[in-house]
Amino acid sequence: MTSQIATAKKVTAVTVREAKGQVPLVAITAYDYTMARLVDEQVDIVLVGDSLGMVVQGNPHTLSVTVDEMIYHCRAVARAVRHSHLVVDMPFMSYQVSVEEALRNAGKILAEGGAEAVKLEGGVAMAPTVERLVAAGIPVMGHLGLMPQSVHTMGGYRVQGKTDKAKESLLEDAVALEDAGAYAIVLEGIPAELAKNISERLKIPTIGIGAGADCDGQILVGQDLLGLNVDFKPRFVKHFAHLGEDVRRAVAQYAEEVKNRNFPTKEHSF
C-alpha cells in the first residue's frame, strides 16, 4: 500500500501545501538509509528530525545536535528517498541567533544534505526568518505547540496551549507563520480542539503529533510507531508493530545458535 500523494508523483513542498482539504498527509521520521528505503513509498513526507539527538544519540533532549550531524543523516536518507518530500530540522541555535545565520545554515542543509525543505520551531518571533528563507527559495515548515528545543522554558515535555491566553497566542503564531510563507506547520502536544481550530483557520496544512485527529496530516517518530523504543509509550504514540521485542528475540536466538554451533550451517558456508 502506498500513500495517495506519493503514488501520483514526487511529493514536493507545493504538493504538500495543495493537499490541504484533500487526503490526510502521512509523515514519518527517518535518520538512515535503510529506514528511508523502507518508508519512502508508504508516506508523503520523510522528516530527518532533530529527535535523532534522543533516538539515535541517546541524549535526554535535542539541544546538542549540530548542523553537520543533521547534514550527515540527511545525506543518508536522501540517497533512499525517491517519492516522498524530504524535510530536515534546523537544530537548536542554527536559526535563532540571526536571520543571516539561519539563511546560511538552511542553505547548507539543502545544498550539502539534499533536503527539500527545513523545519524550524517558533511562531511570531520566527516569522521574519521564515520570510527571508522562503524569499531565498527555501521552503519552510513551521513547528508549534510542544517545541522540544524549548524544553527548559516549558519545564519539560508538557502539553501546551491549555489556557485561553496560550490558545490565542498559538493561533497568532500559526497565522504569522502562514503569512510569512511557511507551507505547512507541525502542531505538537496541544489539545485536539485547539489543533482543530488552528487547522480550520489556516490555508496551509497542519501535521499533528499528539494534536488529535483533525489536523491535515499526522507525523510520528519511526522508531516509536514500530515499537523499537520498547519503554517509550506516551499517550500520543501507537505501536503499529513490536519490533523491539522482535529484535531481542532474534538476537537471543542468534546468540544461542552460535553458542550451540547451530549457526552457521552448510547452507551459510562456502
Active site residues: 188
Nearest to 91 by CA among 115, 175, 81, 233: 115
Task: Decide whether 96 or 263 has the Cβ nearer to ligand KIV.
Answer: 96
Q: In angstroms, what is the minimal distance from the CB of 46 to ligand KIV?
A: 11
Q: In angstroms, what is the minimal distance from the CB of 252 to ligand KIV?
A: 30
Cα–chain center distance at 202:
20
Three state DSSP letters for 200-232: HHCCCCEEEECCCCCCCEEEECHHHHCCCCCCC
Q: How far is it, in rounded angstroms, from Cα 40 to Cα 30?
A: 10
Nearest residue (beta carbon) to ligand KIV? 49
Task: Decide whether 114 or 145 has the Cβ nearer to ligand KIV.
Answer: 145
Range list of β-strands (E), 152-197:
184-188
Q: In angstroms, what is the minimal distance from the CB of 256 to ligand KIV?
A: 36
Q: Which residues contact 149 (CB under 8 A, 6 or more apart)?
A: 50, 62, 63, 91, 92, 121
Task: Decide whether 131 or 188 has the Cβ nearer to ligand KIV.
Answer: 188
Query: Which residues in this chain contact ligand KIV in the complex, by CB under 6 A?
Result: 29, 47, 49-51, 89, 143, 186, 188, 209, 219, 221
